[in-house]
Amino acid sequence: MAQNVETKEKNQDAPVEDFSTGDSFDMQRRRKFSTWQLVGLAYTVTNSWLGVAGAFTTGITAAGPASIIYGLILMFVINSFVGIALGELVSAMPNAGGQYYWAMRLAPKGYARLLSYMTGICNLFAAYCVATSTSIAVSTWVFGNVKLAYPDLTVNAWRIYLGAMGLTILAAIVNLWQHVVSRSVSIGLWVSLLACISITIALPVATHDHTGPGYIFATLENNSGWSSDAMAFIVGLINANYAFAALDSATHLAEETPDPARNVPKAILFTVVIGFITGFPFACVLMYALTDLTAVINTPTGVPLVELFNIAFQSKPATFATITFVTVAYFFSLLPQQAYQSRLCWAFSRDRGLPFSHLWSQIHPTSDVPLYAHLLSVSIVFLLGLIYIASTTAFNSLITGVITFPYLTYLAPCIFSLLRGEEQPRGPFNLGWLGKVSKVITVIFCLFTIIMYSFPYQMPVTVSNMNYVTVIYGIAFIFGAADWLFRARYEFTFDSSDIDHTR
């Protein structure tokens, strides 16, 4: 692949001074993410307990506590299989491109480039949805805290958007240096764990009233409008599933960590395990303190978690301090999420997956980051954030995209890995029959979520509660199809000399 990239560079006009593409760069110099830092990055991108905190009203209003409590258990089991499937693939084929690279390696020759390209497009949309939704969520929590202190303050979509973009710029500055990012993810991991443990212990102790075990573990309340309790439970799974979104993030730093064939699978599986260990007790504690669901949902702060803590503590200073702690932990998620999106953009551009790829595929020699890919990714987050101003309902569908777009990217690699049988690359993380079972479960579950999570959250359907995630799918497809027809089908490629397309 290095020869191929170098050949491309010779054909480019006036390369930018003092920059180098990824493959011709000294990769050992860039391998600065230790195993623990990689775990920290993967976990803080997902941050399962914060996923529960940020969207728990979606689940509880759909089907009550059961959709969250038992949904988390179900999602932990299923995403353990997903983690095994991804771990085997990245162990066999460690590459910053992740899913689109695996699709190219495994798919039949006649379909490999197109499937690989569309997988890469979906992966980029996933990464941008993750970073955009987090920036808006953190800004919302900041303004929710301010609203608690100053009830007369008017909080509108423009203010939340501007706050989100300010947080995005701050995170973008941190991401200008690789060594700063690698250290920040370690800090973010410990801040997240400390916040989760502290709140999980403090909330049940300090709450002035509480629910009982029957409410927490045996209550299914269908408030979704769907006539079927099963459908209400499925809609409510979005919250639990959000707690395990973007498990592929560590794969895109495979070229910045030593021994990625062993360390990246560890990071993925640790993310799932730590996510459940932190997310499940936290969810139980939230249900324990949830004594007034109506007040929490209709809170004037716009942040249900703020109202829940305020009711539980009956103290604004205690609520303010707790939400501030949570907000800081959530902000640390934004740092590795930007690293995730920039590395993916850079890797995809190395293989000319995007227009003007010769810019986005460059690595800054001093900071060791894909600077132009980083700036492009931040700019796209700015644009996607405008959806929140246009429609908060449409933006909520973007959150659904955080779950479904990554699952779209897992389909082609897992399907063709199963079809190839033993005739495929193998890495040190290889679980044999369990790996095959995991890929089958991953494919089935991905198809299930892509279909079922596209249904409306509530019935009857109105403009204000419609699920617009299918519109976002359409945007991704239209962009990908247009770019493929007019540019990418001629340019998108990488060295295929070691790829066996005989099957």
Tell me the percentage of the chain whose pLDDT exceeds 90: 40
In a domain, 6, yes or no: no
Of 114, 24, 2, 16, the residue nearest 373 (C-alpha): 16
Model confidence at 187: pLDDT above 90:
no
Q: Which of 17-31, 309-323, 411-425, 454-468 is the least confident region?
A: 17-31
- What does the DSSP assignment read for 6-37? HHHHHHSSSPPTT-EETTTS-HHHH----HHH
In a domain, 252, yes or no: yes
Of 230, 244, 169, the residue nearest 404 (C-alpha): 244
Model confidence at 35: pLDDT above 60:
yes
Model confidence at 300: pLDDT above 80:
yes
- Calpha distance 84→90 (Å, rounded): 10
- What does the DSSP assignment read for 108-138? -HHHHHHHHHHHHHHHHHHHHHHHHHHHHHH
Model confidence at 63: pLDDT above 80:
no
| Whole-number pLDDT of residue 500 | 54
In a domain, 502, yes or no: no
- Average confidence score pLDDT of the chain: 84
Model confidence at 13: pLDDT above 50:
no
Model confidence at 359: pLDDT above 80:
yes
**Domain of 57?**
21-491
Considering its fold, how many domains does the chain have in total? 1
Tell me the percentage of the chain whose pLDDT exceeds 70: 90
Mean pLDDT of 262-269: 92
Q: Which of 197-201, 223-227, 280-284, 306-310 is the least confident region?
A: 223-227
| Whole-number pLDDT of residue 180 | 81
In a domain, 501, yes or no: no
Model confidence at 6: pLDDT above 60:
no
Q: Which of 29-33, 52-56, 385-389, 445-449 is the least confident region?
A: 29-33
In a domain, 498, yes or no: no
Q: What letter does residue 227 receive in the DSSP assignment?
A: S
Q: What letter does residue 236 receive in the DSSP assignment?
A: H
Mean pLDDT of 3-28: 39
Helix%, strand%, coil% for the chain, nearest 5? 75, 0, 25
Model confidence at 18: pLDDT above 80:
no
For the stretch 89-136, pLDDT in tens is 999 999 888 899 999 999 998 889 999 999 999 999 999 999 998 999
- Calpha distance 344→244 (Å, rounded): 19
- Calpha distance 7→241 (Å, rounded): 43
Q: What letter does residue 488 receive in the DSSP assignment?
A: I
Does residue 253 contact residue 41 with C-beta atoms inside 8 Å? Answer: yes
- Higher-pLDDT residue of 14 and 161 is 161
Please enumerate in sequence order all residues whose Cβ is within 8 A of that of 150, keeping only pairs 6 or more positions apart, or say none.
Answer: none
Q: Other C-beta atoms within 10 Å of 100: how many?
A: 28
Model confidence at 3: pLDDT above 70:
no
- Higher-pLDDT residue of 7 and 185 is 185
| Whole-number pLDDT of residue 496 | 52
| Whole-number pLDDT of residue 218 | 78
Mean pLDDT of 386-415: 86
In a domain, 16, yes or no: no
- Higher-pLDDT residue of 398 and 115 is 115
In a domain, 3, yes or no: no
Model confidence at 204: pLDDT above 70:
yes
| Whole-number pLDDT of residue 407 | 94
| Whole-number pLDDT of residue 33 | 64
Quote the tokens at residue 215.
């409410």
- Calpha distance 88→101 (Å, rounded): 14
- Calpha distance 119→354 (Å, rounded): 13
Model confidence at 154: pLDDT above 60:
yes
For the stretch 80-89, pLDDT in tens is 999 999 999 9
Q: Return the ∠ at Cα 120 (arms to 115 and 124), rounded to 5°.
A: 150
CATH, residue 353: 1.20.1740.10
In a domain, 393, yes or no: yes
For the stretch 47-59, pLDDT in tens is 888 888 876 666 6
- Calpha distance 62→457 (Å, rounded): 8
For the stretch 217-252, pLDDT in tens is 877 777 777 777 788 888 888 888 888 988 888 888
Q: pLDDT confidence of 276, banded at 50, 70, 90?
A: very high
**What is the DSSP pairing of strand 362-363 with strand 20-21?**
antiparallel
- Higher-pLDDT residue of 325 and 228 is 325
